[in-house]
Structure 1
Amino acid sequence: MKLKFRFWTSSVILYLVLAAMLFYGYRNSHLMLLVAEAFALLLLLAIIYFYQIIIKPVNEIASGAELLKEQDFSSRLPRTGQPDMDRLIDLFNRMMAQLKEERLRVREQHYFLDLMVSASPLGVIILDFDNRISSLNPAASRLLKVEEATGMALDQINHPLALEMEQLQPNEQRIIRLNGIHAYKCTRSYFIDRGFQHPFILVEELTQELIKTEKKAYEKVIRLMSHEVNNTIGATNSMLNLLSSNLQQSQLSYANDFRNVIDIATERGKNLCQLMSNFSEVVKIPEPVRQPVSLKSLIGSIHLLLEAECCKREISLSIEIPDPSPVVFADMVQMEQVIINIVKNSIEAIDRKGAIAIKVSTNPTTLVVQDNGKGISPKDQSMLFTPFYSTKTNGQGIGLMFTREILLNHQFQLSLQTVKPGQTEFRVVFD
């Protein structure tokens, strides 16, 4: 039973008793009537007094409880004039002010964090307890190439990066490389919300930084190696040539044998110099001289060269170009070398008796070279385009590196992967 109800019930009962006394005194005793009237007046004053010191503060406390329940931290309780109760009300009002400031601070922090997450170049993917995406920021949408993924699991997104992130363990950080070009630093962690762990994934694209770092490193190594090798081989070959001339003028019986050995050593030195020259060419790739280039004319200029090499190995070469042919802004000489390198890799992947298809499409303008060779293993896939890495026995790892540098200088997108068994594609997107 509520205190206020009990108070008013007790008051009504007392007044009913007084009413009975007044009725009795009115009929039997004037003295009793005066006593009852005086007692009624005192009781009224007592009820008013106790209402002020008990019931009214209780009503204020009840109002404060409703304010807390409704989370209305802006309202304040008025003072009652009772020192003890006013101290409690002052404490309550200070608590409400602190709660208001704390909620305002938390809201400002949440708003600030939301702005930071939205503007961050890092991809932020927040997962729920079922490892489904509850939210992701614009950077993550751009990296995964999705507009809306809320409620989806990572393995439901058609992007190889999402499939790799699905394999991340809690508190794991990993560098993920796709197609040998794109590199991402992925971190899986969690934050605490109302006592529960919410997992999230941070994705940082390292492609440009990694390419710049690799380029600086191999440029320095190539220059140092070229300098040392060329100087050493040059001096060595000079001495060998001088020795060969002296042997030619001598009458020694073994002179010809020695000269043959010297010629072989000289030839090996020249081959080594040529190797270093090939490496140096990658460093010295000039900036592209862009001009409008018809893809039909570009492929036609090297068609006979490619077809002759394919015929030697019994490989069929087909070309599909829409009419009218798409036009791109590129350096024609450099792009010719790119296509030759791509088709040459396909020929070497097939070896003998296979098929290569060069296909051009629009919206966006894309060049695809398909082959039915042995394909690319998952291990080699992550190492493609890495400087000096090659899957060939005598490969130098220059061709793909050279191709990558030219296409990146043109700001064209590229990828090389085995899309399905028996079909490997090198894709160049010009738009």
Structure 2
Amino acid sequence: MTLRAKILAYIIAVHVALGAAAWFVIDAWFNVSELRFLLFAVEALFVLSIAISARLMRALFVPIDVLRTGAELLAERDFTSHFAPVGQPEFDALVDVYNRMAERLREERLGAEEQHQLLEKIVEASPAGIVICDFDGNIARANPAAERLLTPELRSELATVATGESRLVTNRGARRVRVRRAEFRDRGFAKSFFVIEELTEELRLSEKAAYEKLIRMMSHEVNNSVGAVRSLLESSLRYAPQVGEADRDDFANALQVASARMDALNRFMAAFAEVVRIPPPAKTRTNVAELVERVAALLRPELARRAIALDLKLDDRRAFDVDPNQLEQVVLNIFRNAIDAVARDGAVFVTLRDGVLAIGDTGPGIAGSVRSELFTPFFTTKRDGRGLGLTIVQEILANHGLAFSLENRPGGGAEFRIAF
């Protein structure tokens, strides 16, 4: 039973008891002529008492009702409603305190919501990927930049990053990102978040500047030395008639071999210099499918000689804005890498669908130990390789602004993908 019901029952019981007592006294002690007047007087007193009781109950319960309503509004987090004074000084002071408290809570909540919205917009617009985990360490939220970078490989890598650690991770074979892990408190419990920064272009430009400087220095030193040695060899050849007839042929052959090695060294340095001299792409509308078919036709004799099957599925026949000469060099390089990776009786798969060119093979795939080094200048796993092929490919595709990746295929082998 509520307090209101208890007080109301008490007032009714008191008035019934008093009424019964009054009737008993009137009936016992007063004659009939006086009874009528007393009845009217008692009835008037009863009505007045009930009215006073009702007014007192209202004065008592209006503040209680206000308090109850205020508690309900606070529970519902409604801080916009305010109460008017009720005319009782003691309670009006309480109403004023409640109204000021509600106004302050409203302002604080509004400020918190505005700050939250600002942080939301900053996180959404951030070029860095931001990943927030739940209390169990599972990914609860990722901003658009993180969604573009997250791959199954990177997701598994995140679980191994310790709090406070910063790590450089190779993603999708060609892309490199820096992952940093930190913590914040949510309702008293620690939650993790990751900041993922795309460093591919930054590192590529840094490495490019380094190997360009190295190649220029090597070219300068080698060319100067080769020029001087060639001059000496040519001068030495003029002394051939002065050499004894028995040694003359050996003398001339030795000088010619040395001269040929100088030519080979010149060609070797010229190949390195190609990386430095890649011009900006001269883009024209190019049918990529036809370009791939030309490269495939060029390599068919080698494929046949090594008994390697070629599966071409070029469904997308659209033209794209690319430099045909540079793209042909890229496709040829990727083709050759696929052929070199495949054993006899293997296969090379080429598809062009929805603007994505994929060149895959049935080779051994990419070993985890070399994955992060694939596009590093001068790094190679081939016995006679120079480590420049994928560097040139990366430079050309980056100059075109094309996204690319080099990954292991689910069924075995590797696959190079270019998105036009």
| CA RMSD of superposed structures (Å) | 4.3
1:364 counterpart = 2:370: no
CA contact (8 A) 1:354 1:371 kept: no
Q: Identical aligned pairs, as a percentage?
A: 36
Paired amino acid for 2:308: S
Aligned to 2:104: 98
Q: Which residue of the other structure, out of 60, 73, 93, is the alignment partner of 2:79?
A: 73
Following superposition, the deviation at residue 256 of structure 1 comes to 9.3
The answer on 1:174 being equivalent to 2:190 is no
Q: Which residue of 1 aligns with 2:186?
A: 193
Distance (whole Å) between structure 2 residues aligned to residue 4 and residue 119 of structure 1: 57
Whole-angstrom distance in 1 between the partners of 2:175 and 2:358? 19
Change (3 A) 1:395 1:365: closer
Q: Say whether the 8 Å CA contact 1:180–1:381 is kept in structure 2.
A: yes
For the residue of structure 2 that corresponds to 1:375, the secondary structure is coil
Does the CA-based 8 Å contact 1:168-1:188 persist in structure 2? yes
Distance 1:11 1:200 in 2: 64
Structure 2 residues not aligned, in runs of 5+: none
Residues 1:111 and 1:21: Cα distance change in structure 2 (over 3 Å): same
**Does 1:355 find its partner at 2:346?**
yes
Residues 1:26 and 2:26 are matched in the alignment: yes
8 Å Cα contact 1:18-1:40 kept in structure 2? no
Deviation string for 1:316-370 (max 9, x for gaps)? 35363558966544333323332332233234334x63434353433335252x4
The answer to whether 1:16 aligns with 2:16 is yes
Amino acid at match of 1:277: A
- 2:233 equivalent to 1:227: no
CA contact (8 A) 1:21 1:36 kept: no
2:367 maps to 377
Distance 1:37 1:315, change over 3 A: closer
Supply the distance in 1 between the matched residues of 2:361 and 2:48 (Cα, whole angstroms): 109
The one-letter code matched in structure 2 to 1:381 is R
How far 1:203 moved relative to its partner? 3.3
Q: Distance in 1 between matches of 2:335 and 2:301?
A: 12
The secondary structure found in structure 2 opposite 1:382 is helix
What's the TM-score once normalised by structure 2's chain length? 0.78
TM-score normalised by structure 1 residue count: 0.76
Paired residue secondary structure (1:288) = coil
Matches within 5 A, 1:234-245: 234-235=227-228, 237-238=230-231, 240-241=232-233, 244=236
Q: Say if 1:13 and 1:419 are closer, same or farther in 2 by CA, change over 3 A.
A: same
Are the counterparts in 1 of residues 402 and 418 from structure 2 also a CA contact under 8 Å?
Answer: yes
Deviation at 1:207, TM superposition (A): 2.7
In structure 2, the partner of 1:147 is none
| Match of residue 111 from structure 1 | 117
What is the CA-CA distance between 1:282 and the residue it aligns to? Answer: 0.9
* Inter-partner Cα distance in structure 2 for 1:296 and 1:46: 98
Instruction: Structure 1: state its 5+ residue gaps.
Output: 145-157
| Pairing partner for 1:210 from 203, 207, 214 | 203
One of 326, 342, 350 as aligned partner of 1:334:
326
| Contact residue 219 and residue 283 of structure 1 kept, 8 A | yes
Instruction: Give the Cα separation in 2 of the matches to 1:178 and 1:258.
Output: 57
Matched residue type, 1:11: I
The amino acid that maps onto 1:219 is E
| More off after superposition, 280-289 vs 158-167 | 158-167
Tell me the SS of whatever aligns to 2:178: strand
Cα shift at 1:281: 1.0
CA 356–10 in structure 1, closer or farther in 2 if over 3 Å, else same: closer
User: Closer, same or farther in 2 for the Cα pair 1:251/1:367, shift >3 Å?
Assistant: same
Task: Name the residue aligned to 1:318.
Answer: 310
Aligned AA (1:398): L
Summarize the Cα distance change of 1:91–1:232 in structure 2 as closer, same or farther, 3 Å threshold: farther
* Residue among 360, 381, 387 paired with 1:397: 387
Per the TM alignment, residue 305 of structure 1 is displaced from its structure 2 partner at its CA by 5.0
Provide closer, same or farther for how the CA distance between residues 379 and 45 of structure 1 changes in structure 2, counting only shifts above 3 A: same
Q: Is the 8 A contact 2:161 2:181 kept in 1?
A: yes
1:123 to 124, 129, 150: 129
Deviation at 1:400, TM superposition (A): 1.2
1:59 to 58, 65, 68: 65
3-state DSSP of counterpart to 2:113: helix
For residues 73 and 325 of structure 1, the distance between their equivalents in structure 2, rounded to whole angstroms, comes to: 63
Quote the offset at 1:100 in angstroms: 1.5
After superposition, what is the alpha-carbon deviation per residue over 1:4-39, rounded to whole angstroms, capped at 9, x for unaligned?
444434433443343245334534268xx7998999
